[in-house]
Amino acid sequence: MITLSKTEKKILEDSIRDIQDFPKPGIVFKDITTLLNNKEAYGVLMNHLYQRYKEYNLEYIAGIDARGFIFGAALAQMLGIGFVPIRKKGKLPYTTISEKYALEYGVDEIEVHIDAFGKQIGARVLVIDDLIATGGTANAAATLVNQTGAKCVECCFILGLTFLDGIKKLQEKTDVYSVIEVD
């Protein structure tokens, strides 16, 4: 299994900015925009993801709206496979299927085109996003992939917040990989 070297991990961790009390008091927001605009850090990350997934025999990468698009589309191009956006409800123009998931105060919904992964049953799909916290969106995304007849083989996150239970919940459905774990 491909892992980050100590130097690579430090480059990534040092490139992520903490924003105190955002979006509300008591929360420390992990801002990845500073990783994206750091060519060394973004290069380290994308090379790591390529090395990890090049032998997975993936057919598609599904990126979760919106930051999953940034990593997913670039990785799909590097691997020479298709990219599929999983979007918030009402953003896709063709026939879709959708999945609702619980938020702290309410419910949200994501969707994917019904034919996003082609007609082949069991197409191997990696779901990717920037962060997993409580896991609601990621669980809904993995469910959607599987409902299309494809197979979610793993969910990948740049940051995994291990002090919340999202990773554990998602592991009941599929394999989970976090590049960096935050305790």
Confidence band, pLDDT 50/70/90 cuts, at residue 113: very high
Q: What is the pLDDT of residue 119?
A: 84
Q: What is the pTM of this model?
A: 0.96
What architecture is domain 57-182?
3-Layer(aba) Sandwich (3.40)
Whether 104 is catalytic is yes
pLDDT at residue 145 tops 90:
yes
Report the range of poorest mean pLDDT among 29-43, 96-110, 121-135.
96-110
List the catalytic residue out of 8, 67, 87, 111: 67
- In this structure, the chain runs to a length of 183
List the catalytic residue out of 104, 109, 124, 154: 104
pLDDT at residue 104 tops 90:
no
What's the mean per-residue pLDDT of the chain? 96
Whether 67 is catalytic is yes
